[in-house]
Structure 1
């Protein structure tokens, strides 16, 4: 009998203190669809014009004895690294999804065969068959474009043989406009096209200059015929531009026999792009309006917190392990969220209130990725500053506007009231933040938290009169 009582007490202890459970709550969210209209990236006329420009530039460089590919400096084709890189300022784990591979089936419409014998590509009624790889930015592609978070880099070393900039970069449809792009010829004569770049973001090097593998080329944008920020990556074997290359090796690749990647990524490559906390659900407005992400890392006790995950290549029949971790590193919740559909990109959200002050963690594991996001519950003034000693806000007290005076580049500013509720949150990675418009705030005491591009922080009390 004594053994049974002890056993029951131990069981109660573990149930009460050592056991975390699934929340009794359904997820909100679902699929994110990119390029639902299946717009061609280039018209036939635009493609022909690009080819003529490239051939003309190559001829000029050759006559000047400056065309490196003509000097037989390399044998065999290049092996590519991935042409996208997240900027150091980005807080996301990954920044892209793939909406379409090269279409190997010349018939149309809806006659699709990608390198893996699947249908992850597109064509149109007019006869366009997709001739490149489309890598869309996810999550929050417009926000990432505004803040220069998704960088296009040279997949292989080579020579710039053409570039075009100055075009509108917030396209949402098929509009017959040309894209902003850079074209790089490799030592074997093959040429890579990098299209849809952000206006004004292109590498400042000139035609004829060399670029190294991994060198910055530009920012992912939505110039030309486009329905949102993405990179169109297209490759040809030589300057006749008659033979496409599909960099992926696969049984249905009828263009080339081997892979052109240094390390070929899987056809379906599930993973976690971001794990975030929000004070409200993110808003995905109509193209081309920047998303309202409502990202927040500072919350009041018992405030409703929106916990979200952002996935790429979601696979039906798999599950995501999710953990909500207390400040003492024990689990409040630890559960598996089952996925029932195949989506190139998806997001899912749960809402909880927390009554323990301190630094919490929100964690997701999927597709080999484990991503942990830290956030704070309780008094924002308890967070220590990290060396922005020369940073100040003027005037203080203020009436409508304040100036941020700093020897550092301030990229984030968050204003909370005395209860810790966020009333303003701004991020500006490319140019930094020099001033804030606070005219809509009521008179009273506020706290502003500033963050530099080096993750340095400072918290300042503000008084509005």
Structure 2
């Protein structure tokens, strides 16, 4: 049976000198902007080469009687499922936001019109009009790319017509030429093809040209190959005559390419939602492309630690609001407030601060656009001694004079020493071998508390006496 000895004197002391700060007393975060350089996803030369590869590979498959599509069996156009999904080990609520739709205004520059007659697209001074749907990963796009966190899947069943892999996927110099993208193109039963571009180098399916894929089948990982300075999927649909006619899969009054939707369930033009509700030890760091973000995510804190409470949104809508709550371990609501959103952002994040005053499992909760996401985090009491956790770890000699030695079946990753007033007097991080010896010769005589953490997040606090 687990027994827990609480040092009541120190608990009372901390209760007197610390308190939980109102989380809406400090706000950080804001909009996150992608593709500020507005470079095209593909050059005219690259597009010509892509179409040539489609035509050549179709002819080769026909010659071998391996092409699945035929005029005699031509079906209706496909109905797409969403072409990305989060990997199984990703705990975020959602991992994307749509950044650009197809530009239906052939003029340029700054003459843009998406399928709703809106301006959620772009063109360039060189005459490029965006010809697909850009789905960006959010939050922490580079980290999720490195962790294989967002998968590209087949939006409809079909036959692989083009597969190209091996291209560099971390190009960032917007002024420099960029190479080809890692790409898969799938042909459907009506003869149309869908291109999945910018995928991560080396991530593409092991299937080859001529192989069949089913709807929802893994094709690769969202990456940043080709003309791209942030991880995203460029999803583009072409008709089957010469493969030069762009099909916008979204039905809308300003889409002349289709009279009905090519989606099984067309998602809203503006689709506000919560991508993640997280806790951090500090604000996340978003370095310059292509360095992965330092997320500073954590679900483990001590009483009176500063907890950074953050939410990550897609399609933030001006005039809307988020209801936020902090719930204590006894299920009482410590804070319940409204955060008003005053601008339209495709991707945004917001942060508050909390100093939890009691140990246990806390809840950090956000409600937005009719959806509630709850994140739990643990707060530990550093001035408690748990006799069963990390049970086989011991320290000798105790009492001690100068040096103590740690015996543990698992590696000690961190050690913190706290005096009787709760002040940290020593903090150590272990090497690859862990912490086995600590020199405490400089300390005054008295009682201390040694807080140990293993490399598998086990924790134990040991009372020490220096004589």
Give the TM-score normalised by structure 1. Answer: 0.81
RMSD, aligned α-carbons: 3.1
For residue 393 of structure 1, what is the aligned residue in structure 2? none
| Aligned partners of 2:410 and 2:454 also within 8 Å | no
Distance in 2 (alpha carbons) for counterparts of 1:348 and 1:382: 36
Cα separation, 2, equivalents of 1:441 and 1:199: 39
Aligned to 2:141: 141
Q: Give unpaired runs (5+ residues) of structure 1.
A: 1-19, 386-395, 405-413, 426-435, 451-457
The corresponding residue for 1:417 is 415
CA contact (8 A) 1:62 1:70 kept: no
Shift in alpha-carbon separation, 1:147–1:415, aligned structure 2, 3 A: farther
What is aligned with 1:301?
Answer: 303
The whole-number CA distance in structure 1 between the counterparts of 2:387 and 2:205 is: 39
SS of the residue aligned with 1:365? strand
Unpaired runs of 5+ residues, structure 2, are 1-19, 390-404, 419-423, 439-450, 463-467
Distance 1:403 1:157, change over 3 A: farther
Partner of 1:42: 42
Matches within 5 A, 1:64-75: 64-70=64-70, 72-75=72-75
Q: Deviation string for 1:184-216 (max 9, x for gaps)?
A: 001111100000000110000010000000000
Which residue number in structure 2 is paired with residue 29 of structure 1?
A: 29
Question: Any idea what the Cα deviations from partners look like across 1:207-247, whole Å, max 9, x if unmatched?
Answer: 00000000000000000100110000000121511211101
Counterpart in the other structure of 1:265: 267
Deviation at 1:112, TM superposition (A): 0.6
Corresponding residue number in structure 2 for 1:408:
none
Distance 1:73 1:327, change over 3 A: farther
- For 2:460 and 2:329, the matched residues in 1 are separated by 26
Aligned residue in 2 for 1:328? 330
Q: Report if aligned partners of 2:413, 2:434 keep a CA contact under 8 Å in 1.
A: no
Distance 2:360 2:460 in 1: 21
Q: In structure 2, what is the equivalent of residue 410 of structure 1?
A: none
Q: Which has the higher contact order (CA 8 A, sep 6+)?
A: 2
Q: 1:460 to 1:73 in 2, by over 3 A?
A: farther
Structure of higher CA gyration radius: 2
The Cα offsets for residues 406-464 of structure 1, whole Å up to 9 and x where unpaired, read as: xxxxxxxx95534799x999xxxxxxxxxx964797955732353xxxxxxx737799x
**Contact 2:406 / 2:436 at 8 angstroms: preserved in 1?**
no
Count of residue pairs the alignment pairs up:
405
The answer to whether the aligner puts 1:197 opposite 2:199 as a matched pair is yes
Match of 2:17 in 1: none
Match of 1:453 in 2: none
Q: For the Cα contact (< 8 Å) 1:448–1:462, is it kept in 2?
A: no
Contact 1:313 1:342 in 2 (8 A): yes
1:372-383 alignment to 2 at 5 Å? 372-379=374-381
Equivalent of residue 447 in structure 1, options 447, 450, 453: 453
Question: What is the rounded CA distance, in whole Å, between the counterparts of 1:103 and 1:349 in structure 2?
Answer: 34
Alignment of 1:165-314 (within 5 A): 165-174=165-174, 175-238=177-240, 240-314=242-316
Kindly report structure 1 stretches of 4+ aligned residues shifted beyond 4 Å.
Answer: 20-24, 379-385, 418-421, 439-445, 460-463
Query: Are 1:91 and 2:91 counterparts?
Result: yes
Question: What is the aligned partner in structure 1 of residue 447 from structure 2?
Answer: none
Cα displacement string for residues 56-99 of structure 1 (whole angstroms, at most 9, x for unaligned residues): 00000011111101264452100000001000110100000111
Q: What is the TM-score with the length of structure 2 in the denominator?
A: 0.81
1:172 is displaced (CA, Å) by 1.8
